[in-house]
């Protein structure tokens, strides 16, 4: 089909351009904040390196080697140039490059939270549709209970209970870690995504083991945002049902299910995407806790260790990566919302 | 009137489901025969609620009840929701007031007209497409093929109302109900769209129930007129006899039309005490 007459490539580009501009500005803000945090952190990396008993000369030498004696603007420039080369500094705890360590742990976190997002978005929107179709039925109560649990019970507590019941007691799910021990040290992890890597390893049982271990943390993490996705989507669906176009659809002879799916749902895409994007950022934060409870390698455990050791470059590197992901999620959502709405295209 | 009216309603009432039990509309009884019937009355007199009750399209907070509601000899008050869905849009169709709100902003024009057909006819896609294009052509939409992928916000009010008309007419209903179909349009478009609607209803032998504030317009286009006041039917007469109406309310409505002749004079005021409702 030829491009419709109204489709104006200029407007589309201008729109994407303005989204991209705000994205870049937010990113610049994030960089400035992480830099300031590192520059004024109470932990002195030079002191950390040379120790409390070093002489003043050794200390000054270390400061110079780390570039800490340069004026702030110059240090910021160095910081940016380093970032462009993918340099996030050296971890003071492990002596390894932070960027390399993050590349190993971050995919795991992204994998866990994305799977949790898929579960919670599908289940949440499904529940919302059911409850908008039959308002006042059991679905409403289910949504209320789930959102109450998800928002008020601490995730680590729920995690421990789930492990005690489903792993220790019933043996339905895998225990802590991302794989059974038999596979943990035998499988190659080139991508860091455990489902993908265990699938590609070709080892029978490895993939199943990965799934069994993914089950509890993913469900738990999903329950954390499921309630809010369901509740907000439901509100938005019910609000649309008063619109005139719903009356016209009924007058055409459409049934309530068809109206909900074909007419109301498309009109709720904007709010739904926004809610889901917000849930995604919440899930990434929640993943940090979940990983700690379930002893899964990932950004969460990395960050916990870094905080414990006062490893400033590692903390800031992880913060920066999370920040960039948040900004990207919001930016992409913003563009999607606009692209999906014919009135804004 | 024909021996067998298309729609016959007895003692129709619309009430709130909870609270106040006094009916918002009714009880009213009327018949709709072939040709165009006008339904007039001041704002808030219950015209829209009446037609929504006829189509079982009341909001959930309201309910309707009638002793008898017959469409083409079939009793409607015992129908289940599924049967209503089969009836709505196929045998009785509705044209709403404002296309800017009544058309779905997220769906293309073609999809929205096509849906009306898809809901009632099992046809191959290509044939449906032909019928939709023909319907768009019939209501005078220019370049239907290009328009197919347009969205409601890209249409003028007049075009939007033509789209609504195409939706209503595509299944060739027996009864077309139009609730103030032109009051959201400019005056010069009003007559155009109305003429088109009258012409198409006539050409396909449909009965038309036209709701309007505009008495002269109803007098010009309709055969019979029903007059509502505060939820009750207060008069029914031949449209041609409106200027000699005997009911005090109809007379007041008729003489309340501001025009060049009455410029600068006080319009007559209606005294409700003169009222004795019929039906
Ligand atoms: N959902 C509702 N709940 C309660 N009362 C309602 C509801 N909808 C309409 N009404 C009341 O019923 C009366 C009739 O309303 P209706 O919309 O039928 O008037 P109308 O004759 O169509 O007026 P207009 O010419 O302004 O469209 C009004 O007094 C209105 O306040
Ligand atoms: Mg009305």
Q: Mean pLDDT over residues A199-207, rounded?
A: 86
Q: Whose CA is nearest to atom 28 of ligand 1?
A: B44
Per-domain boundaries in chain A = 102-299+320-340
What is the distance in angstroms between the Cα of A264 and the nearest Cα belonging to chain B?
A: 9
| pLDDT tens digits, A280-327 | 999 988 888 888 889 898 998 898 889 888 888 899 899 899 899 999
Cα–ligand 1 centroid distance for B46 (angstroms): 5
**Ligand 1 atom at minimum distance from B52 CA:** 18
Return residues 95-154 of B near A (CB < 8 Å).
96, 98, 101-108, 115-116, 119-120, 146, 149-151, 153-154
Contacts of B167 in chain A (CB under 8 A): 248, 252
Label residue A5 by pLDDT band (50, 70, 90): very low
Give the DSSP per-residue string, B198-224.
HHHHHHTT-EEEEEES-HHHHHHH-SE
d(CA A121, CA A273): 10
| Inter-chain touch B85–A251, beta carbons under 8 Å | no
Cα–ligand 2 centroid distance for A47 (angstroms): 79
Label residue B44 by pLDDT band (50, 70, 90): confident
The answer on pLDDT for A108 being more than 60 is yes
Cα–ligand 1 centroid distance for B44 (angstroms): 5
Label residue B265 by pLDDT band (50, 70, 90): low
**Ligand 1 atom at minimum distance from B41 CA:** 21
What is the distance in angstroms between the Cα of A70 and the nearest Cα belonging to chain B?
A: 57
d(CA A81, CA A87): 8
Q: pTM for the full model?
A: 0.84
| Chain pair A-B, CB pairs under 8 angstroms | 87
Comparing CB atoms, the residue among A251, A262, A269 nearest residue B57 is A251
What is the distance in angstroms between the Cα of A120 and the nearest Cα belonging to chain B?
A: 25
Mutation to probe ligand 1, out of B42, B45, B54, B229 (largest number of atoms < 8 A from CB):
B45
What six digits make up the tokens of A3? Answer: 């491009």
- Of 1.10.3720.10, 1.10.357.10, 2.60.40.1180, 3.40.50.300, the CATH number of A102-299+320-340 is 1.10.3720.10
Instruction: Kindly identify which residue of chain A lies nearest to residue B59, measuring between CA atoms.
Output: A242
Ramachandran sector of residue A308 (left: φ over 0; alpha: ψ -120 to 50; beta: rest): alpha
Percent of chain A with pLDDT over 90: 31
List the one residue out of B105, B102, B226, B80 whose CA is nearest residue B168.
B102
Q: Mean pLDDT over residues A166-188, rounded?
A: 85
d(CA A226, CA A122): 9
Pick the residue with more confidence: A209 or A343? Answer: A209
d(CA B256, CA A270): 48
């Amino acid at each position: 089909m030829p491009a419709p007459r109204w489709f104006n490539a200029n407007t589309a580009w201008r729109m994407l351009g303005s989204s991209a501009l705000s994205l870049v500005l937010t990113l610049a803000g994030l960089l400035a904040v992480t830099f300031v945090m590192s520059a004024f952190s109470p932990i002195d990396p030079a002191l950390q390196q040379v120790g409390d008993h070093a002489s003043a000369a050794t200390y000054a030498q270390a400061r110079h080697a780390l570039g800490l004696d340069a004026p702030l603007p110059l240090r910021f420039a160095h910081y940016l140039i380093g970032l462009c080369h993918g340099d996030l500094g050296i971890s003071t705890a492990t002596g390894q490059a932070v960027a390399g360590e993050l590349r190993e742990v971050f995919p795991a976190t992204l994998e866990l939270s994305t799977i949790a997002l898929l579960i919670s978005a599908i289940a949440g929107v499904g529940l919302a549709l059911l409850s908008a179709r039959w308002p006042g039925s059991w679905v409403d109560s289910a949504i209320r209970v789930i959102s109450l649990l998800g928002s008020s019970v601490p995730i680590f507590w729920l995690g421990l209970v789930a492990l005690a019941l489903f792993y220790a007691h019933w043996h339905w799910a895998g225990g802590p870690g991302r794989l059974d021990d038999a596979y943990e040290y035998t499988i190659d992890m080139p991508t860091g995504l455990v489902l993908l890597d265990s699938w590609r390893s070709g080892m029978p049982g490895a993939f199943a083991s990965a799934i069994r271990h993914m089950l509890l943390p993913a469900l738990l993490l999903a329950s954390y945002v499921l309630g809010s996705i369901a509740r907000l989507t439901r509100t938005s669906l019910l609000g649309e049902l008063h619109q005139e176009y719903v009356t016209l659809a009924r007058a055409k002879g459409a049934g309530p299910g068809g109206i909900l799916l074909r007419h109301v749902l498309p009109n709720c895409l904007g709010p739904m995407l926004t809610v889901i994007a917000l849930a995604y950022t919440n899930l990434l934060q929640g993943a940090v806790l979940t990983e700690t409870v379930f002893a899964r390698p990932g950004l969460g455990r990395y960050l916990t260790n870094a905080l414990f050791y006062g490893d400033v470059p590692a903390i800031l590197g992880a913060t920066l990566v999370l920040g960039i992901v948040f900004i990207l999620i919001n930016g992409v959502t913003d563009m999607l919302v606009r692209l999906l709405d014919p009135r804004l295209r | 009137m024909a021996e067998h009216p298309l729609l016959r309603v007895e003692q129709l009432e619309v009430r709130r489901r909870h609270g106040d039990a006094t009916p918002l509309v009714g009880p009213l009884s009327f018949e709709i025969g072939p040709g165009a019937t006008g339904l007039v009355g001041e704002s808030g007199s219950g015209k829209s609620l009446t037609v929504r009750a006829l189509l079982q399209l009341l909001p959930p907070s309201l309910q309707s009840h009638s002793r008898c509601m017959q469409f083409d000899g079939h009793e409607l008050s015992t129908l289940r929701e599924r049967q209503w869905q089969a009836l709505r849009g196929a045998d009785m169709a509705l044209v709403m007031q404002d296309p800017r709100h009544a058309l779905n902003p997220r769906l293309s024009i073609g999809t929205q007209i096509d849906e009306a057909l898809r809901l009632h006819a099992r046809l191959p896609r290509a044939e449906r497409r032909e019928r939709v294009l023909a319907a768009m052509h019939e209501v005078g939409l220019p370049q239907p093929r290009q328009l197919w992928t347009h969205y409601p916000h890209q249409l003028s009010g007049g075009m939007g109302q033509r789209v609504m008309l195409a939706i209503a007419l595509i299944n060739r209903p027996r009864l077309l109900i139009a609730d103030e179909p032109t009051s959201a349009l400019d005056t010069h478009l009003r007559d155009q769209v109305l003429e088109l609607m009258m012409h198409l209803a006539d050409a396909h032998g449909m009965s038309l129930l036209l709701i309007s504030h505009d008495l002269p317009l109803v007098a010009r286009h309709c055969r019979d007129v029903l007059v509502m006041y505060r939820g009750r039917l207060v008069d029914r007469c031949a449209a041609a006899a409106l200027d000699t109406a005997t009911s005090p309310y109809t007379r007041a409505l008729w003489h309340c039309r501001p025009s060049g002749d009455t410029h600068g004079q006080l319009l007559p005021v209606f005294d409700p005490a003169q009222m004795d409702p019929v039906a």
